[in-house]
Amino acid sequence: MANLENIKARKTLDHIQPYSPGKPIWEVQQELGLERVIKLASNENPLGPSKQAVKAIEQGVLGLNRYPDADASDLKAAIAKEHGVEKTQVIPTNGADELITLISEAFLEPGDEIIVPDPSFSEYDFGAHIMGAEVVKVPFAQGFAFDVDAMIAAVTDKTKIIYICSPNNPTGTYMKKQDVQKLLDAVGDTLVVFDAAYSHYADAEDYTDGTEFIRQGYPLLTLKTFSKIYGIAGVRVGFGIAADSIITSILKVKEPFNVNTLAQLAATAAVTDHEHVTQSREINNRGLEYLYGAFEELGLPYTKSMANFVLVKLGDEGETLYQDLMKKGVIVRHGKGWGLPEYVRVSIGTQEENEFFIQALRELIQK
């Protein structure tokens, strides 16, 4: 009889921590016997999906006996038009998560290094670990500002990818355009992956989503997603924009039918649904202002955010308050996984959800 103990996965997989998506609403309802549970933990769009996307899905279901368009041609064209780039500079993927894996597979050899500001989105580490590459973490400066000089100083001849998440998940801070320029000029022939998943929410004058640097010929890839402002996280679509040569390398490791038919139709419709984007941004801005005001009133330090979530410091009681919020039917994200146990990250909800959250927090803090 064979010994199953001898069926061993690659050693590099030992480094991988399972992704923790946060508890779903139904699980918290069942576990705690609660009628009302709200989830402000995954930075989703509280307004719902783009209506144009929903209509496109409804119309597309009858074609499901056919395989999807392997080239996602209409979607590519819509993204290219919206961003002022060529179709050959665009790659749609099964969520931005898939793109991070594909980038890792295309560019990382065992022993290579990636540079990641810390704390940031965990999928960059995952991509490095599946390829046996090393993760070099560069802490943020005061107030979670990007430390560009420290990032430049961390570059070695093993560095293959520098990740910049801007606005950054979970801090909400962004890298100023002049700092992106400085970094690109300093690091030369190193691929910079610029994760702009939350770019639609960023309204600072000196914000960039990176695409202007792609047009200038820099080795930068901008990564975006349909899961946030477009509100279609459930169908899984993300995309990358970069120079043709970078996209061609990534296409080599892509599965032929990675973006399913309904996802392609929904995303193609969502790209031009500017009304939904504008409305989503307005709800978000109002929500941010409301939460800032409430945190100030409660004496809780928070970091100003350019995204659809806020990092707020609850102090030594951080984990207990996170658990107690859940007992009151509010799911937020505790900062432990980012090495920030005194913090929680709360996504902006509808005004009613934001008020429900603040009411629960107030009761816990003032009890």
Q: Nearest 5°: CA angle at 241, between 93 and 71?
A: 45
Nearer to ligand PLP by C-beta: 166 or 328? 166
Q: Closest approach of Cβ 225 to ligand PLP, in Å? A: 3
Nearer to ligand PLP by C-beta: 169 or 284? 169
Q: In this structure, are residues 223 and 246 in contact, taking their beta carbons and an 8 Å threshold?
A: no
Nearer to ligand PLP by C-beta: 261 or 358? 261
Q: Closest approach of Cβ 122 to ligand PLP, in Å? A: 9
Q: Closest approach of Cβ 157 to ligand PLP, in Å? A: 28
Q: In this structure, are residues 335 and 144 in contact, taking their beta carbons and an 8 Å threshold?
A: no
Q: What is the distance between the alpha carbons of residues 147 and 190, in angstroms, rounded to a whole number?
A: 18
Q: Which helix (H) or strand (E) holds 124?
A: helix 123-130
Q: Binding residues for ligand PLP, per CB under 6 A?
A: 43, 95-97, 121, 165, 169, 195, 197, 225, 227, 233, 238
Nearer to ligand PLP by C-beta: 170 or 287? 170
Q: Closest approach of Cβ 124 to ligand PLP, in Å? A: 9
- Give the phi and the psi of residue 307 in degrees, each rounded to 5: -125, -160
Nearer to ligand PLP by C-beta: 214 or 235? 235
Nearer to ligand PLP by C-beta: 167 or 318? 167
Q: What is the distance between the alpha carbons of residues 291 and 306, in angstroms, rounded to a whole number?
A: 14
Q: Closest approach of Cβ 118 to ligand PLP, in Å? A: 14
How far is residue 227 from each of residues 33, 128, 273, 363, measured CA to CA in Å?
A: 29, 23, 14, 32
As a three-state string, the secondary structure of 269-280 is HHHCCHHHHHHH
Q: What is the distance between the alpha carbons of residues 214 and 222, in angstroms, rounded to a whole number?
A: 8
Nearest residue to ligand PLP, scored by beta-carbon proximity = 95
Instruction: Specify the pairing of strand 220-225 against strand 238-241.
Output: antiparallel
Q: What is the distance between the alpha carbons of residues 247 and 88, in angstroms, rounded to a whole number?
A: 7
Helix runs in the chain, H state only: 25-32, 51-60, 73-83, 95-107, 123-130, 148-153, 177-187, 211-215, 244-251, 261-271, 274-298, 318-327, 351-365
Nearer to ligand PLP by C-beta: 96 or 187? 96
Q: Closest approach of Cβ 308 to ligand PLP, in Å? A: 10
Q: Closest approach of Cβ 176 to ligand PLP, in Å? A: 18
Instruction: Specify the pairing of strand 343-347 against strand 38-39.
Output: unpaired
Nearer to ligand PLP by C-beta: 177 or 345? 345
Phi/psi zone of residue 172: left (φ > 0), alpha (ψ -120 to 50 degrees), beta? left
Residues facing 260 on adjacent strands? none
Q: Closest approach of Cβ 320 to ligand PLP, in Å? A: 26
